[in-house]
Amino acid sequence: MIALVQRVTGAKVEVEGSVTGEIGQGLLLLLGVEKNDNDDVLAKLADKVLKLRVFNDDMGKMNLNLAQIGGELLVVSQFTLVADTRKGNRPGFSAAATPEVSEKLYEAFVEYCRNREIKTATGRFGADMQVSLINDGPVTFHIQMN
């Protein structure tokens, strides 16, 4: 699994002009699922994201995680994160899991986060989405498990 995580003061995702998910302060997480991903990889990635100390404490140091600030999470599926761009000019997607497997793991990832009492909003799997955000910092992390 691959995640692109951005610290935001606000973010939303729209499908066909309707908002499907919206958050205030927290993390926008773009999630790509690879062929060999499973529930163990999912749990490791989710725990890593939820424990990331990327929010400022009283001293201005990145020392607090999402739960400690009462932040929210917006999870958006993005299979293009698994693209191989090393050769040529057209990205290859042979490392991506099938849509059925990806959707199952995406939904399980969201449920895993919600079960840890993190307010979690989503996009719509497989849809053409428009994502808006205010990146705070900017602070962005690329996390790859597997």
Active site residues: 78-80
The amino acid at residue 122 is T
Spatial distance between the Cα atoms of 140 and 99, rounded to a whole number of angstroms: 26
Spatial distance between the Cα atoms of 2 and 52, rounded to a whole number of angstroms: 15
- Could you tell me the two tokens for 51? 């424990």
Cβ atoms of residues 102 and 79 within 8 Å: yes
Cα–Cα distance list, 129 to 2, 12, 41, 60, 70 (Å): 19, 10, 25, 34, 26
